[in-house]
Chain A
């Protein structure tokens, strides 16, 4: 009957008879809120399968959908704002705000800085929304707590990035209504929250070896301990850092790959050294590629040609006699590419050599010619926590506690793999500096360098970065006075005085984006100096 009344002729007919006396056919006509492309959150989260798949797709947001705002910042801030890398690409016109970051002329309006802030919080919002959905789902408690543990690890990862970039930030652990503003917590409060979340997660999560093959990408207890170890290191809680690292080391779930180059093979996926990695696929639909590979491959190699290594970094390998990691970290203009028999003379950025700042590109993120997918969608996984990192955390934490033998044992494992001998007589500051240098050589172009320089203190208790940058910084002096590098000194489109504007009173943290200060109605306050 209802159907009949919806027919236009019915309405016409009834209109002729009785003008306004029929509301019967109106009711359902207005209730059409569902459409084919959106599922109401309030109606979802009812089965274990729904909660499980929702948890898994959340992994996509650890780097915001592999979107380049976040990945770009990881290398722009983590590497190019350090002594490891230049922006590199002086060919394309549009990167003034990139240079503002790497040259420390950044202001609070910088769009790169702003993008990273926004996307990290968006990821956190998606994790929070899923956590809330699963929390109230009518499913068994074991599944529920496991999914929640995974999501809290993902959230902690994003907060760790927030706190090391900007210091204490607003701690948002649920979905709030749109008019809410939340003031910044202290860095310690943020770290404490992460430590508590990760400890709880580590207790619930399975070991990596306990996951079935297709689930190897999921968060394991080892990953939770590894991130905890790193967080303790950043908070200078050496004893806990050592203990957390030992949890990973003693689990026997992880070991170093025999050959350093194996890690950077295009087909490397979730191997024994990998503690946590972002999965990518070169499928066309859905498209799930890795933006890191686009960013750092030269234009000739199907990428955008950003972030080229400094001669300062190359010199560090040369000084250490480290020929293995040198070629697996840096591709050198005109030289053969490690692991790619089809590329005997590396073509730099692919743009004129004079437009490349250093002629050195990252090998770690290079895609060998024969392995490039036909559809152009580059998709090696992005390792973001690996066992070598854990060993270096252990070595550093032990060195700082003067547990010389333990520190040397972990350091030796790292050096042994790349055929370097370890001076077993090291101790004190010498040992600490050796571990720090090793961390640079091992982890270059993995996005940690700036944050290491910021947290490391020298013998006088000053951040190490203060002596590298600034008008009299060692890196600045090297570039402006010592260096004779043919690329760097000739191409001044990217300034050779990079880092001279560094001010230790300001630049140990990035500015809170101006627009965030506005969006928070003044509740969120700016970092000192900006």
Chain B
């Protein structure tokens, strides 16, 4: 193959270029080495803007000079240069690149070839991102990048998924990776701001050895997003998709089932029946009334091209997601994103570039109605008449100015106190606008060969403006709002950063050296103002802005230079990368950071790393191994130390006072300062250290690519709000706390990925990628704070739910082990210790039987034990692709196993609440001998503590296989002139989930601290999305 190519080139040169000057129409066909037509290959004429793209059968036609030189390229294949030599028809085949090995990987302030990397860097490219229609690219990554775990953000528009890289890195602070878009450090939430279709590749720096070049901020891993750049022939492309999203059905108890159970409870509790006559009740299906169908739309128009040293990519995108809530006021998220990337080669020595990415978002708050729709009493009529609203308000109760009875029409159940969720729609006025831009510019000079000096200025501006309106309403005597309230707030966050680097590469004999040194300075400032007014004259849309209210209630604001999480920082960094014959690799990096968020006494942190790799397949002896069995083999090892979360606010190391007030005796009040925080002067950043070992190989004629990685990670100095002995009277927190660098943890894990690609005949292409990730964290030390109990201060559960303690998984469930349910009073009475004293003295038939775990003859808090963990033991993804002629098919399956979640749905069955439930759930509870040995009786009062003692009764295993995507595409034959390529497709996102999990959604969003993860508490359920779309290239 190589020889043939060489020959072609020689021929091209030998037979001269000037022989043919006339223009001809060239047609041709581009194929793979296996003679399979290659669609979408880029054909451009060297030195001009002319160009085209091959169609689905690999064919193209192009008017060229007979002596032109063609550049043929395609992602994943080696570029080829072909002389036309006057031919009217050419057939060329492209050789696949050594897949990932030859590709360029972004590693932090520079790039390197995949082969030369000795640290843990995973990559994913546009072809695996673009099929999924989403506003946040993280949704498209779930399970697909080994070592990167994506946890659903839930079903509301714009909800942000969480990302964990190489397992847990922090206990009670965030585990969010650093996100860098084209070199610009942005917040984790910037994944929400980005247009996923602008992305060319994403490289993930997973181990400390790779991430520590970003120092204190790189501790939770780094996601490097590279957006598309202009290159080759000019092309314009349009992507459009549109569809709808809705909730998978949940069947709740109807009025009959509900009333029957409520009666059954009342009977068991010796109460009068709440529904004595079942024939008189009416049913309202609140789930159906509350949820409907929302629309999802995404349109992107982009253009790219390069000429005379200038290359440009530009795009404008529009994305909108309407909540599946059942009205037009159910909430939406829409964004307009723009991107302009330009690079200009001014001379051999000077290069300049510019990136501008503005965005504009508007949000209508999307209320999460899952709880209300689920728990609402179905026997209650949904709405009141206007007349009965007016009659329900006691005379003189409130000033009726601007009172609109419309908001008060949703009925409130007098039986269980829940209000028809329609109320949340009617009164949903929370609207926000966001405007922001990322910018970067660089100047790069190469004064002598191999020496590159680069300076860049980059940053972002984020501006928000939010408005809210709470109308007057009267739902019941204890649920009303007597004052119409308007709020308005603005915020401006700005960040800039200056980076200077110098890079020198040289080769001496077979020794290759690459040295990088750099420094950076950055600054972050937050400013905000807020206002609050009351009393509007009319309930009318034009009066729903702050200026329309007459009574000024509040004005607030803040100015924080050096605000968290970024602070202001000064950094120096360097790296040295060496290899011998591309066979032995050795690399080291060093970074020093000083942050304004840390006490000046402890301000500097130093983060060194070292790594090495051995490409065994480059060894002479490896030539004996036939390529059919194994063509590539590399092993690597790395060690590194990086920073982690910084103290969460500026001046967190200082003890401060807060302003407060007290009424005096003459109708006024006094303002003054009292203790606000008592700080720990020594708090600094968290530290991550890890060891990583990797193996990469390709076997069976490159059909199978396999990577495996094992890591041991030791986060330390973990920031933890440690509970201070209450008697010391520290004012911060409900449980008095102080921030300290106290925790240590070990996270152990491995990641595995296997990709298989093959063709059957010439028409059928098949690809499959399987990933598996496993990680487990164990708390090693919490100092004097051990154990930290994840205690929810509510009245129903008064024992601890989860705990952080040495030797256990963080946030492991903690409670009583249940041995079953007492089937009779006699059985309960017979549950005694060795002195014949009853272990559960008040237990009766139907109550839970708790284990006296330590066997001391008493059931008390010393019997609480670990009941499982909210963290999955294994997650991964299987992506399958099929191409048959013009058809393509793709499916993505995500799986997770080993997690167990707290079921608020069971807690809700607490018979005093009278909340509705999933159809059939109540019947699983004990209601007579032999009916259940799992769930207790529904009876009040609950003297045994079935519902108030944490036990494994509340927990359920969340093993599931969720299909994330099914997509079928068809590439249309070339019907329309000027259209290079047109593909239409239909897809379903989240079409089904296979699970035995009994909660509403096993892919549970995780949006609070580590210690509270896994509480399935009516988080909005991810929607099912049905999409049709097209990709058009001109």
Q: What is A's interface to B at a CB cutoff of 8 Å?
A: 6, 8-9, 11-12, 15-16, 19-20, 23, 25-26, 29-42, 44, 50, 52-61, 65, 92-100, 105, 107-111, 115, 117-118, 121-126, 128-130, 169-170, 172, 175-176, 178-182, 213-217, 269-270, 279-281, 283-286, 288, 299-300, 302, 304-305, 350, 352, 354, 369, 374-376, 379, 492-493, 495, 513-516, 518-521, 523-524
Q: Determine the distance from Cα of A270 to Cα of B595 in the docked complex, in whole angstroms.
A: 53
- Identify which of A9, A352, A493 contacts B271 (C-beta below 8 A): A493
Q: Which of B315-323, B652-660, B866-874 lines the interface with chain A? A: B652-660
Q: Determine the distance from Cα of A514 to Cα of B561 in the docked complex, in whole angstroms.
A: 42
Asked whether A374 and B661 contact (CB < 8 A) given A41-B656, A92-B417, A178-B730, the answer is: no
- A35 engages B560 (CB within 8 Å): yes
Q: Which of B575-583, B694-702, B786-794 lines the interface with chain A? A: B786-794
Q: What residues of chain B lie closer than 8 Å to A524, measured between beta carbons?
A: 725, 727
Asked whether A36 and B557 contact (CB < 8 A) given A8-B496, A30-B568, the answer is: yes
- B570 engages A50 (CB within 8 Å): no
- A57 engages B673 (CB within 8 Å): yes
- Identify which of A16, A56, A354 contacts B455 (C-beta below 8 A): A16
- Identify which of A40, A130, A181, A215 contacts B674 (C-beta below 8 A): A130
- B793 engages A111 (CB within 8 Å): yes
Q: What residues of chain A lie closer than 8 Å to B726, measured between beta carbons?
A: 117-118, 121-122, 513, 515-516, 519-520
Q: Determine the distance from Cα of A107 to Cα of B727 in the docked complex, in whole angstroms.
A: 20
- Identify which of B502, B517, B594, B722 contacts A30 (C-beta below 8 A): B594
Closest-by-CB residue of A relative to B556 is A37
Q: What residues of chain B lie closer than 8 Å to A16, measured between beta carbons?
A: 443, 445, 453, 455, 500
Q: Which of B120-128, B175-183, B663-671 lines the interface with chain A? A: B663-671
- B912 engages A129 (CB within 8 Å): no
Scoring B272, B445, B666 by chain A CB atoms within 10 A of each residue's CB, the highest score goes to B666
Closest-by-CB residue of B relative to A32 is B562
- B795 engages A54 (CB within 8 Å): no
Q: From residue 219 to 270 of chain B, which have CB atoms closer than 8 A to chain A?
A: 269-270
- A53 engages B671 (CB within 8 Å): yes
Scoring B496, B791, B941 by chain A CB atoms within 10 A of each residue's CB, the highest score goes to B941
Q: Which of B476-484, B633-641, B749-757, B924-932 lines the interface with chain A? A: B476-484
**In the complex, what's the smallest C-beta–C-beta distance from A462 to chain B, in angstroms?**
26
- B521 engages A11 (CB within 8 Å): yes
- Name 28 interchain pairs, CB-CB below 8 A, sorted by A: A11-B500, A12-B455, A15-B498, A29-B596, A38-B676, A41-B675, A44-B673, A57-B660, A58-B674, A60-B660, A93-B910, A97-B948, A100-B798, A115-B793, A125-B678, A129-B731, A169-B727, A178-B738, A214-B666, A281-B663, A284-B534, A285-B553, A288-B663, A352-B414, A374-B482, A514-B861, A515-B789, A518-B787
**In the complex, what's the smallest C-beta–C-beta distance from B924 to chain A, in angstroms?**
21
B983 within 8 A of A: no
- B662 engages A178 (CB within 8 Å): no
Interface 1/0 per residue, B792-816 and A, CB below 8 Å:
0111101110000000000000000
Interface 1/0 per residue, B718-762 and A, CB below 8 Å:
000011111111110011101010000000000000000000000
Closest-by-CB residue of B relative to A184 is B727
- B675 engages A129 (CB within 8 Å): yes
- A19 engages B500 (CB within 8 Å): yes
Closest-by-CB residue of B relative to A179 is B784
**In the complex, what's the smallest C-beta–C-beta distance from B1030 to chain A, in angstroms?**
43
Considering the complex of A and B, which 8 residue pairs feature the smallest CB-CB distances, nearest first? A125-B729, A53-B672, A15-B500, A32-B562, A129-B675, A93-B912, A214-B666, A38-B656
- A97 engages B798 (CB within 8 Å): yes
- B561 engages A35 (CB within 8 Å): yes
Q: Determine the distance from Cα of A518 to Cα of B860 in the docked complex, in whole angstroms.
A: 15
Q: Determine the distance from Cα of A516 to Cα of B791 in the docked complex, in whole angstroms.
A: 13
Q: What residues of chain A lie closer than 8 Å to B799, measured between beta carbons?
A: 109
- Identify which of B553, B722, B724, B942 contacts A96 (C-beta below 8 A): B942
Interface 1/0 per residue, B562-577 and A, CB below 8 Å:
1100001110100000
- B727 engages A182 (CB within 8 Å): yes
Q: What residues of chain B lie closer than 8 Å to A172, measured between beta carbons?
A: 727-729
- B559 engages A35 (CB within 8 Å): yes
B890 within 8 A of A: no
B81 within 8 A of A: no
Scoring A34, A283, A299 by chain B CB atoms within 10 A of each residue's CB, the highest score goes to A34
- B662 engages A33 (CB within 8 Å): no
Q: Determine the distance from Cα of A97 to Cα of B562 in the docked complex, in whole angstroms.
A: 45
Q: Determine the distance from Cα of A97 to Cα of B722 in the docked complex, in whole angstroms.
A: 26
Q: What residues of chain A lie closer than 8 Å to B860, measured between beta carbons?
A: 107
Q: Determine the distance from Cα of A374 to Cα of B519 in the docked complex, in whole angstroms.
A: 61
B680 within 8 A of A: yes
Asked whether A36 and B559 contact (CB < 8 A) given A44-B673, A122-B731, the answer is: yes
**In the complex, what's the smallest C-beta–C-beta distance from B737 to chain A, in angstroms?**
9
Q: From residue 408 to 459 of chain B, which have CB atoms closer than 8 A to chain A?
A: 414, 417, 443, 445, 453, 455-457
**In the complex, what's the smallest C-beta–C-beta distance from B458 to chain A, in angstroms?**
9
Q: What residues of chain A lie closer than 8 Å to B795, measured between beta carbons?
A: 94-98, 111
- B663 engages A38 (CB within 8 Å): no
- B728 engages A180 (CB within 8 Å): yes
Q: Determine the distance from Cα of A379 to Cα of B272 in the docked complex, in whole angstroms.
A: 39
A sample of 14 more A-B contacts (CB under 8 A), given A56-B664, A122-B730, is A12-B500, A19-B453, A30-B594, A32-B650, A33-B596, A36-B559, A57-B674, A60-B660, A94-B913, A126-B729, A128-B729, A170-B727, A493-B269, A521-B784
Q: Determine the distance from Cα of A217 to Cα of B795 in the docked complex, in whole angstroms.
A: 35
B651 within 8 A of A: yes
- B570 engages A178 (CB within 8 Å): no
Q: What residues of chain B lie closer than 8 Å to A217, measured between beta carbons?
A: 663-665
B558 within 8 A of A: yes
B844 within 8 A of A: no
B914 within 8 A of A: yes
- A180 engages B725 (CB within 8 Å): yes
Q: Determine the distance from Cα of A32 to Cα of B649 in the docked complex, in whole angstroms.
A: 11
B603 within 8 A of A: yes
B600 within 8 A of A: yes
Q: What residues of chain B lie closer than 8 Å to A493, measured between beta carbons?
A: 269, 271, 940-941
Q: Determine the distance from Cα of A172 to Cα of B729 in the docked complex, in whole angstroms.
A: 8
Q: Determine the distance from Cα of A6 to Cα of B497 in the docked complex, in whole angstroms.
A: 11
Asked whether A60 and B661 contact (CB < 8 A) given A126-B674, A299-B477, the answer is: yes
Q: What residues of chain A lie closer than 8 Å to B662, measured between beta carbons?
A: 56-60, 279, 288
Q: From residue 465 to 502 of chain B, which have CB atoms closer than 8 A to chain A?
A: 477-478, 482-483, 496, 498, 500, 502
Closest-by-CB residue of B relative to A121 is B729
- Identify which of A20, A41, A281 contacts B519 (C-beta below 8 A): A20
Q: Determine the distance from Cα of A285 to Cα of B532 in the docked complex, in whole angstroms.
A: 10
- A30 engages B595 (CB within 8 Å): yes
Q: Determine the distance from Cα of A251 to Cα of B271 in the docked complex, in whole angstroms.
A: 57
**In the complex, what's the smallest C-beta–C-beta distance from A529 to chain B, in angstroms?**
12
B399 within 8 A of A: yes
B906 within 8 A of A: no
**In the complex, what's the smallest C-beta–C-beta distance from B1004 to chain A, in angstroms?**
24
B523 within 8 A of A: yes
**In the complex, what's the smallest C-beta–C-beta distance from A162 to chain B, in angstroms?**
9
Q: What residues of chain A lie closer than 8 Å to B734, measured between beta carbons?
A: 118
B277 within 8 A of A: no
Q: Determine the distance from Cα of A216 to Cα of B666 in the docked complex, in whole angstroms.
A: 9
Q: From residue 921 to 948 of chain B, which have CB atoms closer than 8 A to chain A?
A: 940-943, 947-948
Q: What residues of chain A lie closer than 8 Å to B399, measured between beta carbons?
A: 374
B393 within 8 A of A: no
Q: Determine the distance from Cα of A305 to Cα of B476 in the docked complex, in whole angstroms.
A: 14
Closest-by-CB residue of B relative to A56 is B670
Q: What residues of chain B lie closer than 8 Å to A354, measured between beta carbons?
A: 272
- A33 engages B654 (CB within 8 Å): yes
Q: Determine the distance from Cα of A178 to Cα of B596 in the docked complex, in whole angstroms.
A: 24
**In the complex, what's the smallest C-beta–C-beta distance from A22 to chain B, in angstroms?**
9
Q: What residues of chain A lie closer than 8 Å to B534, measured between beta carbons?
A: 284
- B596 engages A125 (CB within 8 Å): no
**In the complex, what's the smallest C-beta–C-beta distance from A245 to chain B, in angstroms?**
25
Closest-by-CB residue of B relative to A303 is B478
